[in-house]
Each structure stands twice: as structure tokens, then as C-alpha cells.
Amino acid sequence: MGFKCISQTELKIKSGPNYIGVPLRFLEEIKQETEYKTTGIEISKSTDQISEISIVNNESLEFLFDHQMNLKSAEGYGTISIVNNSYKDRIWDARIEILGSNIENETNLRIFEPRTNKNIRYSIEALDDLQNPLVIHERIEILNEEIKSYKDIEQISGIDHYDSILEDGEKRYLLLFGKENLVKFTIIIENNSNSTIKNINLQKEISKHFYDIECISDSQADIKTKGNILKIELPELNPGQKRNVDITAKIFPEKKERIRTGAYNITYNIENSVISETEIINFSAYSHAKHLINVEEKETQPNHWDCSFLFANHSDFTMYLKSILITDESKSENYVDLDLTTENNKIILSPGETFTTQKWEVFNENEPKFVRKISYSLDYSIEKGTDVSIKVEDDIFEIIGFQFEKDISQKEIKSFEESELYNKIIIRNTGDVAIKGVVINEIIPEDFKPPLEISQFKLKKASGEQKLENVDLKITPPNDEPSTEHTLELILNLKENQVTQLIGINELLEISYPIKAISPDYNKAYEFPLEISCYYLKNKNQEKKEEVDYYVVRHRLSDMQKPTLKVSHKRRNLAIAKEIYPGRYDDEFAICVTVKNKSTIEIKNISITDTIPITFELISSNIKNKVTKSNKENEYVISFSVESVLPFQEKEIMYYLKNKSGKDVSFSELESYFIG
């Protein structure tokens, strides 16, 4: 027991002003008496100031999650603080019993001086198994019309349709390169506990690349922006209540660089609850109290004694009695046996209050003596609270994009004639994500035949020609009848269980295939609409999975990009004339062959053949010629070749002959041998 300085006034009690003993308050004027209904005991009450023993159990937890909400690290500890709030009274033999922590079940805290406290710190174990009372989830959506999920488009021909997001899949966030993207961040906060969660503070980082940032909450949240940090405060969240915070922002990727989705932190408090299973089972302590047994011999009955038990609370604390047992010296007879631990029998004494039992009578020639055992403790209050801090790491946005072009091997073909053309399509990957597969859709107009065999297609990369593996071809209708329009659909690298990527980062793919023109009409305008669909894996680790989800980006060939194909209606109109002139001598002749192109098209590779009687020899010619023996006797053959004559152009061939025999030869003889 402790000692303290007591004034003379404090030593006064009801039985006499100068009684020296355990300190009691002077309660003569303010004492009130009430009868204890079940036992007839008396409790005298006081209005003295009450101090208390307060026990505060507070837990602090910190969690770190990756962007998929997988727990990376967790740290938690708790503090149990026992505080003596009295300004003058000590407490002693203080003991606390704790369940569920990694400390001893019962701890002896010994003595507390006035206005002091003692702390018990414990670590929280098995944090992975704890249920987080606040469930947090961030959903990121790219609100771009050009990026479609596989489930939003028609099923690819010949490819099974999968649309399950795998549990172990790591979702991709894709931005279109060189275009404005609208991104929506939705942070969902839900109270999954039975307690009210208060002081919810959310901080979300927004990359400096974003602009036109807007934040909307479905509750009266306080939203503030500081730099690239968005701060959102929610006063409280009741059990089962959910709140959404929507953030929209625009971004225009101009470079292939790492743009982060933005980490976020959230802190909150839980009142009157701890997350761990730590529980304070009991606290007991003692302070200034007095208990005594009054024995008074009856006036008219010698050796008959009226006895009563008194318990007085002399401290600033509220006390409660647990049990009172009073027996004779031999412990064979119980005079008072009170169990005060049940709720109905509980006796609580405020500072200055006393408790008196009902009297019992004893016959004894001497002053009676008793054995007594008293159990009591100080009342206390328990406060609980939990402070939680959660940090969620961010992910990255990946840049996707592709460019493509188309070329036709011939820019002009003749009307109503067969021509074979070669389509060449080049697709370049301009993003930083590999293209998993490609679907080419092209309309082949009437008067043209589409290719029906996969072997007619060629795939080429910078490394060389590629094997025609994992390629599907569909022609609709399934024939090459030129009288009807056809749809060509070429599917590359999208078969089930195909793990390779089709077009890597910074790679290009060239696809070429033939198209045959069958009697094209120059009065028609022929177009070959082309659409390219590039498929990207929705989840980062899906390459080896049987079920695969895709993001799909489709681009159509614009009018500016379409190659021109001209069908020309051109017919050749060629006139070849021959004139014979006398030479310088009677035995010489000058022959002029005129080639005139009277059409609107260029005429090429014109061959002209003339015959020369064997009696003549060639003297000269203005163009290259060739003289050979004829199959017929008595003549030679002279041949000329004109490479090209442009529309409405005229070319002359002049050559000179001389009679070797000296005989006369008529003009008609020379004319009859001309072929042109």
C-alpha cells in the first residue's frame, strides 16, 4: 500500500472528528442511504469527483498492394495503454488479462502513480489472413471508340469465341498512339465490416501527361487538387455502404514512353474496434479502501452481538465488489456469503461511497471474531480504435498503334481484257505492344476473280518470307465467279493455342496475293475497300492459355490512301505505208516505209518485213535491220523492228537497194514482196 499526506479535515469520520485511521471523506451532510433490495444492505452515496482507469487499445496497420491488389507487404502492431487519471491516488497490484495477442495472457503491471500510464505493445501476426474492413478496387477504362473488346465485335470467322478474363491474367491498359484518349478511373470503396469507418482520406496520383481532369463522387466528398495529386475526403462509411469516385482525364500520346496509371493511398479510422482478435478479458487493481466489521452487544441481551460488515471506497475511482465471505474462526459457519459477479447482483461504489451488509446476530461471551475474505477491484473503461494505411502501386499504360498501306502492281489495265494484278499490303507496328494477330477484309468487285487458295498468298518480314502457318482464308461467296462481288477475309495468327506474336515492336508485315481482272468495263469505277483489324492480348500473361481475350483496333483504308486503278478503253489504229522511189542511178531504188500510229495509245514492238529479189543487194538503211534468206527461191527477207510509236506519231524507215545483175526491174516487182 502507498502513503500520502492527509489533512486533519480529511481524517474526520462519522464516529468522531479525531478518529485516526484509513482516510475517509467527511460525508455527514451529503450522505444518502439506500436499501439494497435483496440483502438488506446499505449503500451510502457521495458526489465526490470521480477519476477513472482508462484502457485504450489502438492498432495501426500498413498494407502495400501491387496494382492487381496482391498483398506485397503488411505491418501491424497494437498498443494497449493503461492510464491512471487520478491526480492524487495510486493504484497497485494492477493486472491485465489479454486474449489473442502475442503477449502473455496475464501481465502484472504493479503500481501506478497518479497521472501516469503504462503501455503494452504487441505485433499483429498473420496479417495475410486478416479481413480488410475496407475493400478497395480501381477500375481503369479507355473510353476510345477505336479500341474494342473482343466481346464487343462479331466473332471472327473460323475462330472460337473466348471472352473470359482469366483469374491470373494481368490486364493491359492500352492507349492509341498519336490520338486523343479519354481515360476513366473508378475507385470503389466499400465498408465490409460491422463498424463505421471514419476519416477516409484518398490520394490519387495523376500523371503529368493528362489534362482536362474531372472528379465526381456519388457522395458529399471533399475533393481537392494539389499539383498532380487528387485528394478526396469522405467523413464516414457505414457498414455495407459503398462509394464510387470517378476520375476522367484526357491524354494524347505523342511519344512511345512509359505513362503510369498512378498509385493511390488511402487512410481511415475504425472506432470501437480492432482488426486483430486481441481482446482485453479483464483488468483488476486496488486503491484506497477500508473494510471493517462492527460488533455491538445488545442492550438488553448480554453476550448477544449485532454484527455488520462495512466497505468504504476512499479513492477517486469507482470500485466494484466481487465477493464477500465472512465466517466464524473455525470457518464452519458462514455469516455472509455474497457472490457479486452477476449482472443482477453487481455492486458498484463511486468515490466516497460505503457498502454495509445486513446485520447478523452472534452469541459469544467474549467479543466475537470472524474470518473474512473480500474481493474487489477498480472499475475501468475500454476504448478501441484502428488506424489503417493502404498503398496501392500503379501500373503502366501501353501504347498501341499501326499504319498500313496498299499498292496494286498495275495502275492501268485494258478494258475487256484479262489482266493479273498483285495486291500488296504493308502493316507497320508503331506501338510498344506486339500485335498478336491480324484480320484483313477486302471487297473484290465484280469482273475480278479472288484467290481461292492459301498457297497464292505470300507473307514477308524483314527477315524474309514467312511460312504460311496459322492462316485461314474465307471467300464469300465461296467461288471465283467474276459476275459477282466477293468478300476476302484473311485471318493471320489467331488460331487456338497459337502462342507466337505476329508483328513485333517496330516490325512490319507484307502480305501479297493475286487478283485477276476478267473483262473489266471501262465504264465502271472499281474500288477495293480494305479494312485491317489488329488484335492485342488483353492480359499480359495469356500467351500460353487456351482461352484468350483480345483488344481489337480496326482501321479502314481512307479515300486518300486508296491506290488508283484505271481501266482504259484503247484500241490500236496503225497505218504502214510503202513508197518506192528511183535512186541516183537506173539500177538503184529508195524504199520508204512509213509507220503511223492513229490511235490514242502507245503501240509497241512493231515488226515489219519486206522481201528483196535475189538480184538486189542492200546498200544502206536508216535503222537497224536484218537480212536473211527466204524459204522461197530468188528472194531475201529484210526485217525491221520499231520499239514504240506514241499516239498520233509517225516514223519512217528508209533503205536503198541496188540491182546486182544490171537487168531492169519494175516497181511492181518490188511492191509485191512487202509485208507490214
pLDDT in tens, 517-572: 998 998 888 999 999 999 998 887 765 555 678 899 999 998 888 888 888 877 78
pLDDT of amino acid 351: 93
Q: pLDDT of 218-276, one tens digit each?
A: 777 788 888 788 898 999 999 999 999 899 999 999 988 889 999 999 999 998 888 88
In order of start, what are the domains of the chain with their CATH numbers? 53-58+74-124+278-282 (no CATH), 134-144+179-274 (2.60.40.1170), 401-568 (2.60.40.740), 574-675 (2.60.40.290)
Residue 167 has pLDDT above 50, yes or no: no
CA distances from 648 to 103, 574, 615, 651, 653 (A): 110, 9, 37, 10, 17
CA–CA dist 519, 446 (Å, integer) = 10
Up-side HSE of residue 22: CA atoms within 13 Å toward CB? 14
CA distances from 430 to 205, 399, 403, 493 (A): 28, 9, 7, 19
Q: Which of 116-130, 131-145, 279-293 has the highest mean pLDDT?
A: 279-293
CA–CA dist 102, 562 (Å, integer) = 75
Residue 5 has pLDDT above 80, yes or no: no
Residue 172 has pLDDT above 90, yes or no: no
Task: With beta carbons less than 8 A apart as the criterion, state whether 390 and 73 touch.
Answer: no
pLDDT of amino acid 164: 33
Q: Percent of the chain at pLDDT above 70?
A: 86
pLDDT of amino acid 6: 45
Q: Which of 328-342, 603-617, 620-634 has the highest mean pLDDT?
A: 328-342
Name the amino acid, one letter, at 169: G
CA–CA dist 314, 292 (Å, integer) = 13
CA distances from 272 to 52, 174, 315, 528, 599 (A): 18, 44, 28, 73, 102
* Helices then strands, each counted (H, E), the chain: 1, 50
Q: pLDDT of 610-627, one tens digit each?
A: 888 888 888 889 999 898
Task: With beta carbons less than 8 A apart as the criterion, state whether 346 and 340 touch.
Answer: yes
Average pLDDT (395-417) is 91
Mean pLDDT of the chain: 84
Q: pLDDT of 343-385, one tens digit each?
A: 888 899 999 999 999 999 999 999 999 999 999 999 999 999 9
In 3-state terms, what secondary structure has residue 214? strand
pLDDT of amino acid 632: 81
pLDDT of amino acid 543: 56
In 3-state terms, what secondary structure has residue 536? strand
Q: Name residue 67's beta-bridge partners.
A: none
pLDDT class of 26 with cuts at 50, 70, 90: very low
Between residues 656 and 126, the one the model is more confident about:
656
CA–CA dist 73, 673 (Å, integer) = 104
Q: pLDDT of 480-505, one tens digit each?
A: 999 999 999 999 998 866 668 899 99
Mention every residue, 6+ apart, whose C-beta is less than 8 A from residue 568: 412, 413, 414, 415, 522, 601
Q: Give the residue among 280, 243, 269, 263 at the shortest CA–CA distance from 61.
A: 269
How many C-beta atoms lie closer than 10 Å to residue 270's C-beta?
Answer: 22
**Of the listed ranges 73-82, 504-513, 666-675, the one predicted with least confidence:** 666-675
Average pLDDT (101-106) is 72
Burial of 121 from C-beta contacts in 10 A (0-12 / 13-18 / 19+): exposed
Burial of 294 from C-beta contacts in 10 A (0-12 / 13-18 / 19+): middle
How many C-beta atoms lie closer than 10 Å to residue 444's C-beta?
Answer: 23
pLDDT of amino acid 158: 37
Residue 20 has pLDDT above 90, yes or no: no
pLDDT of amino acid 538: 86
**Global pTM?**
0.68
Peptide bond into 520 cis (omega under 30): no
pLDDT class of 313 with cuts at 50, 70, 90: very high
CA–CA dist 364, 368 (Å, integer) = 6
Phi–psi pair at 456, nearest 5 degrees = -80, -5
Residue 33 has pLDDT above 60, yes or no: no
Residue 13 has pLDDT above 70, yes or no: no
